[in-house]
Structure 1
Amino acid sequence: MSTLLGKKLLNYRIEKLLGQGGMGEVYLGVHTEIGRKVAIKVIAPHLARDPKIQERFKREALILARLNHPNIVQLYDYWARPEEGLYLIMEYVEGISLDRYIHRVLRGPIPPRQAIEIFLQVLDAFQYAHDNGVIHRDIKPSNILLRNDNVVKVLDFGIARIVTPDPTNAEDPALTKTGTTLGTVVYMSPEQLKAKNPADIDHRSDIYSLGVVLFEMLTGKEMYDRNQLSEFDILVKIASEPPPSLRELAPEIGPDFEPILAKALAKKREERYSRCQDFASDLLQILPKYANQEAGALPRNPALTQTQVSPAEPSFLQRTYARLRASLKDTRSSKRWYLYLSGGILGLTLLGMVAFWFMRYQVQKREAIELTEKFSRALHDHDLNSLEGLLAERLSPFFTDQDIDRRPAIEKYYRSFWKTLQKDSVVWQVLSSTREGDTWQIEGLLYQQYVTSPRTVLEPKKIYNRWWGRYDTRYEAKTLPSTTVCKQKRLVFLLREGQIRGIKLLDDKTCP
């Protein structure tokens, strides 16, 4: 698959290989129009033909699509071409994995304060995932990235499970059948080793794995050394033996972490933390004890819990207020602080106005993009009522027409299209968004893949007539089979007041 280097995939130019494994490779891609860097996960073509691999890869895309959190890698696009490969286009993270940071950079444990600051961000991500019904099932340091700006990113939901009451969205047991090891053994919970079906595992299995990761962060060593123990020995220890002592492996660490890890690593899941939020709350309680430790490079993520630890010294606002009261005793000082206070209030007001404008701009942009996505879904579902609700009464320009009413536009461009096709698939990909006045312009690519209906044609055939000594023409009916057609339309939508006011067709060609 290294032949992808230098080539173009959708709108992305493949720049370099970021990593590879047994199932595929990850490339750095750059959007050719807007210059955004992405990570493209590619499954090898010979594996992409396996229906189970296809389903598992699609499930990863579905899970990432429903998760939107600052500490979870974001999904941009999913592209399935079994004959060529399966592709996930994701957020590119410039940084280093947690396992490399521990074993290659530090070559030892992470200081307790910095370890807590990193781990709180990890817990924040998994609390959000669990709240949305997602169990990761493969938590390990290599699936946790530390970005260059010190933000934690969790990735690789390839074997995650969605917990849902909807039977139509339930996981296929064949994807995780008994006897198939999914996950990395060292970080697996006891119930994950023994599970006979996916329903036997809940979010508390992730909490056990998180405890193993925290143990490795604090000691600089895996909880069970894979270089010294066989996989069978590790399985026995996880299933039946108490976890190794933190104090024995890292005597320099105080006793505060022992009860926290003991609870996270309990053999019975009923004895573990019931939520990542509770796990984080206990870590926050001991964080002030390490306040004098040299500050780590990573800032702490906002607390997962409402429980707050009282600061050892007055806050910035308390110190400022005390200084302000003392300065009022002196007239000159009073005037100076009055000016400072007035300037601060004015600055905060301006900052609030800018923040409000920016948030409003982002909300309007998201609404405009969602409107185009609704248009795509209406085409895909052949939903005439939805389409009529999205289009304004008059559209100008609409494809080649300078001005056209909504009903004639639907009749001319879509009704006949729906009648002639048996099945179609529509995918919409946004390329750019701009605003001019109160009108949004959303440019993107609309992919239409459909199967034409079988049709019968009359084919002329020359037959020699011996009686008259000449060739006569006769017509025979011939059935042409259905064919698959893929079209790529480059469109610009003109949106205003929650409706589509016009659609410009920039390009219409066969899919590359």
Structure 2
Amino acid sequence: MTLVAGQQIGQYRIERPLGSGGMGVVYIAMDMRLGRRAAIKQLLPALSSDHDIVERFFNEAKAAASINHPSIVEIYDVGWHSDGSAFFAMKLLEGESIARRMRTVRQFPLEIASTIARQVATALGAAHARGIVHRDLKPDNVMLVRDDEVVIGERAIVLDFGIAKLFGENPAVSKTRTGVFMGTPAYMSPEQCRGAADVDQRTDVYALGCIVFEMLAGRPPFIAQGGGEIVGMHQFVAPPDVRSLRSDVPEPLAALIARSLAKNPAERVASMHDFAIALGPFAVQGVHTMPAGQGVTQLTAPPSIAASTYTRGQVSAPPTKSRALAFVFGVIAMLAVTALAIVVTCRPSSDVVNAPADAAVPYEAGDRVAVLRAAVKKAIARKDWVDAQIAVQKWIDTANDSEAQEYQRKVMEETAAERAFQELTSAANEKRHLDGRDAFERIAVTSSYRDRAIEIMARLRLDYISKKTKEARELAAAHKCKELGALQQEASRMG
């Protein structure tokens, strides 16, 4: 039966319903012993007589309680109500789900989406370390709650381990019922869609890939009229490139999402730990403490971060106006004399392979360091910055020597350069000179993109100056001095 305000269930007094579903109801309640509010999840009495359903219900509480992580919902208690229905009590979270947030924020800012996804990845990494696969990860099951110690002011909390399973368990003794889909179609991995009993942590990797895709693109990878069609698409249809739906997604991030959505589990990012590492360069870094009494009302970075630019995963100050003014004067001078001059200077690139190794690396870690060093070099050679980031972070975790730090600097620099190079290419194709120049200035001169970036930027500047010079000549020929002055002012603004 439905509980009403004031009714007691265990040591909890019901205040009001919070939500309901096909299997039960969630209430807000007060813990009469400890004086704290809690969320009570009650299984419907009609279902509480089914042993398998009750076991799965309590499995949710046990799974969440066994994971000690700030981004996993905290379980307080489990028990039975006097009417025979099972229940468990958990921490009451005051916030909103990713699904609800997406109703008002169709496409999340890149850094915010990456930060949220990284939090989810670390939480599920902790679950996987306990041998627990969520199997129903979706935007409805991730809450965004205020946390003053998190850089974006909110923490992602993973909920609803109701169909979680221990990976590696014997399928013959699995309690999952044959022929019953376990999961939500829009976020189910291909192996889940096939009804495979031996799903592992890579099923959650696929689901998180779907969520990241949706946070960035404003829609999940696959859309269809019915769940059955979506299930088929997960198995047989290639997902769209997220950049086809949102052009500002950098290529390395798009590649990471595509890899997480691979049909073959062996081709996906291997673990949530690796996923979190690969998301690092795109996420907001650091710790942000909000003033007391100020709630988080919008999905934005703190003001100090919002006014800055992101470079190599860190917050840097906005560019000053001095470079813009220098270029303004250059453009005006070229318009006056109708001459072109493009001078690009650069310093030689350093050879990271010759970076000194630390003699303090423990001997027993030497073999693993050698393997990881080779993996980093191989990834750099093929410009696979996702694999390079993962390998170099594992190297640092094994032996944080100076060589590993130098490789990390190189990889982070190249990742940032690749992002900027994609922006530069896009700006050049659309002849957006100002955006192209900003992107060019973020490309490190030691990066492998240097020569191509210089060539593209030279063409972009040439096109820009030629266009303005032609306009100036036409105005001068027509003796339209006023319009010529306005053109020079425009060049000043655009410079």
Counterparts of 1:66 and 1:210 in 2: how far apart (Å)? Answer: 21
Unaligned runs of 5+ in 1: 290-294, 300-307, 315-512
CA deviations over 1:167-214 (Å, ceiling 9, x no partner): 7xx8843x31331011101100011111343xx211101100110010
The match for 2:44 is 44
The match for 1:110 is 108
Counterparts of 1:57 and 1:112 in 2: how far apart (Å)? Answer: 36
| C-alpha deviation, 1:310, in angstroms | 7.2
Q: In the alignment, which of 181, 200, 208 is matched to residue 210 of structure 1?
A: 208
Count of aligned pairs between the two proteins:
291
How do 1:280-429 and structure 2 match up within 5 A? 280-287=276-283, 297=300, 311=314
The match for 1:240 is 236
CA deviations over 1:317-360 (Å, ceiling 9, x no partner): xxxxxxxxxxxxxxxxxxxxxxxxxxxxxxxxxxxxxxxxxxxx
Contact 1:126 1:276 in 2 (8 A): yes
The match for 2:125 is 127
CA deviations over 1:86-137 (Å, ceiling 9, x no partner): 101111100001100012x22x111101111111111110110011100000
How do 1:179-190 and structure 2 match up within 5 A? 179-190=179-190
Letter in 2 for 1:117: T
Give the structure with the higher percent helix. 2
Counterparts of 1:278 and 1:216 in 2: how far apart (Å)? Answer: 20
| C-alpha deviation, 1:288, in angstroms | 7.6
The match for 1:58 is 58
Distance 1:220 1:171, change over 3 A: farther
SS in structure 1 opposite 2:77?
Answer: strand
Letter in 1 for 2:200: D
Does residue 174 of structure 2 align to residue 162 of structure 1?
Answer: no
The match for 1:140 is 138
Contact 2:38 2:91 in 1 (8 A): yes
| CA RMSD of superposed structures (Å) | 2.5
| C-alpha deviation, 1:296, in angstroms | 5.2
- Structure with max Cα Rg: 1
SS in structure 2 opposite 1:18?
Answer: strand
Counterparts of 2:138 and 2:215 in 1: how far apart (Å)? Answer: 11
Contact 2:188 2:231 in 1 (8 A): no
Letter in 2 for 1:234: I
Counterparts of 1:212 and 1:90 in 2: how far apart (Å)? Answer: 27
Distance 1:31 1:275, change over 3 A: same
The match for 2:418 is none
Counterparts of 2:301 and 2:76 in 1: how far apart (Å)? Answer: 27
Letter in 2 for 1:195: G
After TM superposition, where is structure 1 displaced by more than 6 Å over at least 4 residues in a row? Answer: none
SS in structure 1 opposite 2:162?
Answer: coil
Higher relative contact order (CA 8 A, sep 6+): 2
Counterparts of 1:71 and 1:125 in 2: how far apart (Å)? Answer: 5
Counterparts of 2:284 and 2:67 in 1: how far apart (Å)? Answer: 32
Contact 1:136 1:159 in 2 (8 A): yes
SS in structure 2 opposite 1:151?
Answer: strand
Contact 1:162 1:171 in 2 (8 A): no
Q: TM-score of the superposition, structure 2-length normalised?
A: 0.55
SS in structure 2 opposite 1:273?
Answer: coil
Bigger Cα displacement from structure 2, 40-49 vs 255-264: 255-264
The match for 1:222 is 220
The match for 1:70 is 70
Give the structure with the higher percent strand. 1
Q: In the alignment, which of 257, 263, 268 is matched to residue 272 of structure 1?
A: 268
Contact 1:195 1:201 in 2 (8 A): no
Counterparts of 2:43 and 2:237 in 1: how far apart (Å)? Answer: 38
Counterparts of 1:20 and 1:5 in 2: how far apart (Å)? Answer: 16
| C-alpha deviation, 1:267, in angstroms | 0.7
The match for 1:101 is 101
Distance 1:164 1:268, change over 3 A: closer
| C-alpha deviation, 1:309, in angstroms | 5.3
Counterparts of 1:128 and 1:309 in 2: how far apart (Å)? Answer: 26
The match for 2:25 is 25
SS in structure 2 opposite 1:182?
Answer: coil
SS in structure 2 opposite 1:71?
Answer: coil
Contact 1:71 1:122 in 2 (8 A): yes
